[in-house]
Amino acid sequence: MKSSSHSTLHNRNVENRPIPSEYFSGNDYKKYTDENPKQCQASSSHSNADLITNHLNETTAAVKTANGTRQHQWTINDFEVGAPLGRGRFGHVYCVREKKSKYIVALKAIIKDQISTPRLAKQLISEISIQSRLKHPNILRLYGFFHDDQRIFLLLEYAPGGELYRRMQKEKILRESEAAGYVYQLCNALSYLHSKQIIHRDIKPENILIGVYGILKLADFGWSAERTETNKRTTLCGTLDYLAPEMLNGSGYDEKIDLWCLGVFTYEMIVGKPPFDSQTQQDTIRLIRTNELSFPQAASNHARDLISQLIRRNPSERMPLNEVIQHQWIIENANMKAIDENYEKINKSTLMNHKNEN
Ligand code: ATP
Ligand code: MG
């Protein structure tokens, strides 16, 4: 789901920072306000809970058909609940252990009544149906889900390193070798997503977790969407600091929006703040529109080159992912061999492998 838990630290959430209407061309702003929770208060949370329950039942059936009959029907009694890992907008995340296999996962418990608008219900359903289909070492696995009258439980891969955002807050600036390793891994995750016609749309350090062996795990598919051949998407979403110009202009966008965010993410890791950071939202939006990108002296030439080739106003001029992973900055800084070896190691260890062995 859309993250809002860092609002006290550094509020970068568009939902919590509505952007003035004059910054959008007519249609797009209308769409945004139509989807604004405050505009939807008339709908009762009860009907949303029913909507979610029905969709979850349908999704369970669909996943079952896709995976054959071996799909396991979890209940809360299958798990020993351990320490809380954190708190999200709609509930808590716990470290839990499956009793039979002893495998450790993260259990996200979402209170159905807190999904108070049809838009949030749709977002959650889309998040579950997209994330449960994704299997890639750099994408946080959603192993399964189940629900009771009050709660929906998501069984997620456990990421012991927590959010990359926390690490960046602590370190301020990451070493270029570490940053390049994350960029390489994020490129791998995005190539996989885009090959499945999925756009993440909310790439930012808050949505990246650190898994075992320090492997990057892209999470939070609440804003992700499937791209259709004919329709370019127009919904306004994401985070202000990471908003791409085509999203602001409402002219429609495609998967190249994730390339813009990849550039912003790279900049933030090595500079310590996002490139269009300013005192006011209006200023940030103006800087995004005019593409006023400046670098501190310490930034290396290769890093500047890569970032400038991703943060391009024209989406078709952004460097494609297959070229990003061959860029000089990545080649010189990322330890790709070690990362690829880690992929091999984690492939052998998942909850599903453990279940099948039992
Ligand atoms: P939401 O997604 O509900 O809008 P959020 O993204 O802020 O809110 P959650 O995804 O619910 O929050 O997670 C809350 C916290 O729990 C995170 O900040 C993170 O520290 C921790 N957490 C979440 N998922 C995992 C996981 N799979 N492994 C380890 N820690 C996790
Ligand atoms: Mg989250």
Q: What is the pLDDT along the chain (358 residues), one digit of tens a residue?
A: 544 333 323 345 544 333 333 333 333 323 323 333 332 233 344 566 667 777 777 766 665 555 554 557 889 999 999 999 999 888 899 999 999 999 999 999 999 988 888 888 888 988 899 999 999 999 999 999 999 989 999 999 999 999 999 999 999 999 999 999 999 999 999 999 999 999 999 999 999 999 999 999 999 998 888 876 555 666 666 578 999 999 888 878 899 999 999 999 999 999 999 999 999 989 999 999 998 899 999 999 999 999 999 999 999 999 999 999 999 999 999 999 999 999 888 877 666 555 544 3
Q: Token match 């969709």: residue?
A: 55
Let me know if residue 209 belongs to a domain.
yes
Q: Could you tell me if 248 and 148 lie in one domain?
A: no
Q: Token match 């500047």: residue?
A: 304
Q: Could you give the CA distance from residue 273 to residue 297 in angstroms, rounded to a whole number?
A: 14
Q: Could you tell me if 211 and 340 lie in one domain?
A: yes
pLDDT given at position 306: 98
Measured CA distances, 182 to 57, 65, 308 (Å): 36, 35, 18
Q: Which ligand 1 atom is nearest residue 6's CA? A: 7
Q: Which of 202, 241, 305, 340 is catalytic?
A: 202
Q: Could you tell me if 81 and 54 lie in one domain?
A: yes
Measuring from each residue's beta carbon to the nearest atom of ligand 1, which residues come in under 6 Å?
Answer: 1-5, 85-90, 93, 106, 108, 140, 156-159, 162-163, 209, 220
Minimum-distance ligand to the CA of 11? 1
Pocket test for ligand 1, best of 1, 2, 5, 90 (most atoms within 8 A of CB): 5
**Going along the chain, which residue ranges are E strands?**
79-87, 91-98, 104-111, 142-147, 151-157, 162-163, 198-199, 208-210, 216-218, 225-226
Q: Could you tell me if 203 and 276 lie in one domain?
A: yes
Q: Could you give the CA distance from residue 174 to residue 57 in angstroms, rounded to a whole number?
A: 44
pLDDT given at position 119: 83
**What does DSSP say about strands 225-226 and 198-199: parallel, antiparallel, or unpaired?**
antiparallel
**What does DSSP say about strands 162-163 and 151-157: parallel, antiparallel, or unpaired?**
unpaired
Q: End of a domain among 112, 139, 156?
A: 156
Q: How far is the CA of 157 from the centre of ligand 2 (A)?
A: 13
Q: Could you tell me if 59 and 135 lie in one domain?
A: yes
Q: Look at ligand 1, atom 13, and give the residue with the nearest C-alpha.
A: 88
3-class DSSP state of 356:
helix
Q: Which ligand 1 atom is nearest residue 206's CA? A: 6
Q: Could you tell me if 78 and 178 lie in one domain?
A: no
Contact partners, residue 87, CB within 8 Å, separation at least 6: 5, 93
Q: How far is the CA of 106 from the centre of ligand 2 (A)?
A: 12
Q: Could you tell me if 76 and 214 lie in one domain?
A: no
Q: How far is the CA of 96 from the centre of ligand 1 (A)?
A: 14
Q: Could you tell me if 130 and 245 lie in one domain?
A: no
Let me know if residue 225 belongs to a domain.
yes
Let me know if residue 275 belongs to a domain.
yes
Q: What does pTM read for this prediction?
A: 0.84
Q: Could you give the CA distance from residue 3 to residue 89 in angstroms, rounded to a whole number?
A: 7
Let me know if residue 352 belongs to a domain.
no
Q: Could you tell me if 332 and 195 lie in one domain?
A: yes
Domain of residue 188 covers: 163-344
Closest CA to 307 of 218, 192, 183: 183
Let me know if residue 5 belongs to a domain.
no
What CATH number should be reported for the domain holding residue 40?
3.30.200.20
pLDDT given at position 186: 98
Kindly tell me the sign of the dihedral angle through the C-alpha atoms of 354, 111, 17, 33: positive
Q: End of a domain among 98, 133, 156?
A: 156
Closest CA to 313 of 276, 284, 278, 288: 288
Q: Could you give the CA distance from residue 58 to residue 132 in angstroms, rounded to a whole number?
A: 13
Contact partners, residue 64, CB within 8 Å, separation at least 6: 71
Q: Could you give the CA distance from residue 79 to residue 73 in angstroms, rounded to a whole number?
A: 13
Q: Could you tell me if 142 and 187 lie in one domain?
A: no
Let me know if residue 15 belongs to a domain.
no
Q: What is the total count of domains within the chain?
A: 2
Q: Could you give the CA distance from residue 289 to residue 67 in angstroms, rounded to a whole number?
A: 45
Angle at 32 between CA 26 and CA 35, to 5 degrees: 140
Q: Is residue 8 within 8 Å of residue 165, measured between CB atoms?
A: no
Minimum-distance ligand to the CA of 160? 1
Q: Could you give the CA distance from residue 123 to residue 152 in angstroms, rounded to a whole number?
A: 14
Whether 202 is a known active-site residue: answer yes
Let me know if residue 6 belongs to a domain.
no
Minimum-distance ligand to the CA of 7? 1
Q: How far is the CA of 154 from the centre of ligand 2 (A)?
A: 12
Q: Could you tell me if 196 and 90 lie in one domain?
A: no
Q: Could you tell me if 69 and 170 lie in one domain?
A: no
